[in-house]
Chains A and B, each alone.
Chain A
Amino acid sequence: MDHTLPQPYSAPPEGHVSHSRLERVLRSGRFAITAELNPPDSADPADVYEAARPLGEVADAINATDASGANCHMSSIGISALLTRAGYSPVYQISCRDRNRIAIQGDVLGAAAMGVSNVLCLTGDGVGVGDQPGAKPVFDFDSLSLLRTIKTMRDERKFLSGRTIKNPPQLFLGAAENPCIPPYDWRPERLAKKVEAGAEYIQTNYIYDVPLFEKFMARVRGLGLDKKVYILAGVGPLASARAARWMRSNVPGIHVPDAVIGRMEKAEKPGQEGKKICVELIQQMREIAGVSGVHVMAYRKEHEVSEIIRESGVLASRKR
């Protein structure tokens, strides 16, 4: 069982920074699974639990997205709090787009108090791609200064103002990386900078271009980063060739090679083919040195996640 509310404040296990199940799984060397929950446009907690149920069957942690694509949905902190109440272990995603340093530092304490033990620090997509492009972009922090700030709160027990925090937030710190988009040569260097800023695990964007990712990972190993940070490769089932093309041109930072789209086009049942590609990707990711797990992002297809993970066989060795 995870460390969830209403647990009293206590020290994390020896050698750990948090009570996170994800941290335990990664540190013990097991192949970790995280999955993304698509936030509801609703104020009913049942909608969150319905989406979480199929993810919870296989995932070590469930990501609560923070208005991804700059589209408004239920907040990540709200979802995270609901998930901890039900015994799930959430990854509280924090985007720098919508809140300034005062709001974010306060929310970090609030989230930790509600039993959240993983955070993912993100820059956030620009407001222009979202459903309310007239919104004011904040970007007070960037993902790296945010990482360093939360690390300072946790390890130094201080806000960025220098004011002391009585009981610091015990959080496993994560960041994102996008290996398959330019500037390719600098992506591993940027990852090194994120580790330097405080990242302890990385969840990548969707990877459909395995050779490109392998090149990235070779450089990551060359820099010795695979020994310093746990990398979870981002995967997800495509719905159809049309949807893949739409994503490629409308969602920032998504690279789908033509070969993959071609395969989707030729398939008789594109939905099945998308799932099959995803299963294959997971199996390929597991073979790449330095990859510690996968992060499954199944947009509006949460119900398929447990099936995909089971078919991939990555959990076969685990007693659950």
Chain B
Amino acid sequence: MYRIRLFAIRHSRSFEWIYKRLESAMIALDPLLAKIGYDRVEHPVAFAEKCVKTVLFDCKMCGQCVLSSTGMSCPMNCPKQLRNGPCGGVRPGGFCEVKPDMKCVWALAWDGASRMKGGAQIHTVLPPVERNLEGSSSWLRVSREKAAHLREAREKRRTAIADAFPGARENEPSAAPLAEEPAQAVKGSK
């Protein structure tokens, strides 16, 4: 899996392209998904997402995917789960402080981002992970969020977290969500 992850980071530009297409498709699907009910599709989509992303990125299903901002290097593979760059303990050669056999997730992330069109997104400060969204589908969240983002232009409502991390929501909608969360997506809400 580690090798496939490194492959994905090496080809960050291609994966960025694929992700952009996927995102557009998910946004276009928002009315349909809303009609079927996000609650109903949550489990099957989350399962599919997990299968695909675990193989490609060693995905940990944090539910707040930020791959496009991290050079396609999943930050949840960082033993400290840092969301904003490498810590101060990186070993010579760019290896992880905690797992010395693994390349630093963030050293790889900057490397991957340097090949991406939207690589500059890595400079945006991201908020902490909302742990109660773990295991839920990030793809569906993107769909809901982008759709909500469009509505928001009218509504102008803001929460403190989205205000505190303005760029994050723009670049990674699932990282600072404002839209209503369906009960299925949020742990402990039922």
Contact = CB atoms under 8 A, between A and B. Distances in A.
A123 B82 contact: yes
Nearest to B113: A186
B80 A142 contact: yes
B110 A183 contact: yes
Nearest to B107: A183
Contacts of B128: 101, 140-142, 145, 149
Contacts of B151: none
A139 B164 contact: no
Interface in A246-279: 252-253, 255
B131 to A, nearest CB: 8
B134 interface: no
Contact of A128 (B88, B94, B98, B131): B98
Contacts of A144: 83-85, 125-126
A183 B164 CA distance: 28
Interface residues of B, number: 36
Contact of A125 (B89, B107, B123): B89
Contacts of A143: 84, 87
B contact face: mostly helix, strand, loop, or mixed: loop
Nearest to B162: A162
A141 B87 CA distance: 12
Given A126-B89, A162-B159, A181-B88, A149 B164 contact: yes
Interface string A129-154: 10000000101111111001101100
Nearest to A137: B80
Contact of A139 (B82, B85, B94, B97): B82
8 contacts: A126-B89, A141-B128, A152-B164, A160-B160, A182-B104, A183-B107, A205-B88, A252-B91
